[in-house]
Every structure is written in structure tokens, then in C-alpha cells.
Amino acid sequence: MANILLTGFEPFGGEKVNPAQLAVNRLQGEHIGNLDVVTGVLPVVTVKCIEEAVKLIEKYDPVAVINVGQAGGRVELSVEKVAINVKDYRIPDNEGNQIRYAPVVEDGPAAYFSSLPVEKIADALVERMIPASVSYTAGTYCCNEVFYGVSHYLRNNRPNVPNCFIHIPFILEQAAGAKPARPSMSLETIIRGLEIAIEQTSTFLS
């Protein structure tokens, strides 16, 4: 069977956990559709996040890539449509870098669109009673940086490998007792959502 690479991120911004890391780790080694799930966790550090993602791609030789990241404040799974060539960090990364008004890739295109069927993925999630929608803003932090950087690498080196990015909400343990209140979703629901996204990817590739 062919590999699909699923990545999450380490905790950042003072959080003790990152639901993207937890969800991705739970899916390591699963067989979904016609795909074997291989996973990795990326640092929340400019440049290094892309470098680690590329290392994982070269290690596992996947037929598709889905990067996953936490978006605190969102109320649903956001299947991202577009990555922009901008780094403008609202908070420092995990090594204290706070990049402002810089490109992800010098002289790169202004944006890349997802090469996976994000609309079908979002529709399939909603049909299975998981809150989701297509999003047109992946932000300007490490999530967008990875989405853009992976897209740039794939288009120039592995053009037949499609990719997308999925933002997920806080999980319940991050929301319990928080002031002000935080939107959240159970980790099990997030994991099920990612399984459905992989199912849709398998169908798209078949």
C-alpha cells in the first residue's frame, strides 16, 4: 500500500499540548482506504518547520500529504484552500523568533492552492456530522508557512503528490475552565475527521 504523510506540530504559545500532535500520533500506522498512514511532528520554529516536513516527505515517499495544525478560537475543522507567501508572526515561535512582513520563499509565487479536493473533504465531514468548512485563510504563522513551504517543495520536486492543510480547534482539556471561554472539540471527533479526510484523499487518488 502507498503512504500518506500526516503531520502535526509541537505545543506552542504557552499551551501544554497541541491537539494536532495528539491526533496525528493516534493515527500512526493506521490503514485507511488504500493508504498507510505515516506521521511526524514539526517544530513551531520558522524555516525548521519546513525543513522537517521535507525530511519526512523524503523519508516516507508519500503519495499525498496532509499537514494539521491547531487554530485556537476556531469552532470547526477548517480545510484550508490557499497558502500565501507571507510570514507575519503575531507571537514568537518556540525559539523566540517573531518574523514580520517576510516571504516564506524569496521570489516564490504569491500563493499556492491546495491540490487535494478540499470542498469534497469539507462536505464529507459535514455529512458525517463533524463541523467543518473550507477556509481561505491559513494565517501567517507556522501553519501557513508549512502549508506554503510544502506546496512549494512538492510542486517543484514531486508535482504528482497532492497536499492540503487542516486547522483544528482546541480540545476539551484546553478549554475546560478557560477565561474567556474557548471553543473546543473532542480529540476523538478530530481524529475521526482526519480519518474522513484520508478516506477522501484515497478516493481522489484511486
- pLDDT greater than 90 at residue 1: no
- pLDDT greater than 90 at residue 18: yes
Q: Is the pTM of this model over 0.95?
A: yes
- CA 114 – CA 117 distance, rounded (Å): 8
Which of 36-50, 128-142, 147-161, 170-184 is predicted least confidently? Answer: 170-184
- CA 12 – CA 195 distance, rounded (Å): 24
The cell numbers describing 124, all together, are 464529507
- pLDDT greater than 90 at residue 157: yes
Q: Are 143 and 166 in contact (CB under 8 A)?
A: no
Looking at residue 169, what is its pLDDT? 98
Catalytic residue selected from 80, 145, 152, 164 = 80
Say which DSSP state 11 is in.
-
What are the residues whose beta carbons fall under 8 Å from the beta carbon of 16, sequence distance 6 or more?
none
> What average pLDDT does the segment 64-92 reach?
97
Which residue ranges form the domains of the chain, and what is each CATH number?
2-205 (3.40.630.20)
Catalytic residue selected from 49, 76, 142, 143 = 143
> What average pLDDT does the segment 72-78 reach?
96
Q: Indicate if 143 belongs to the active site.
A: yes
Looking at residue 121, what is its pLDDT? 98
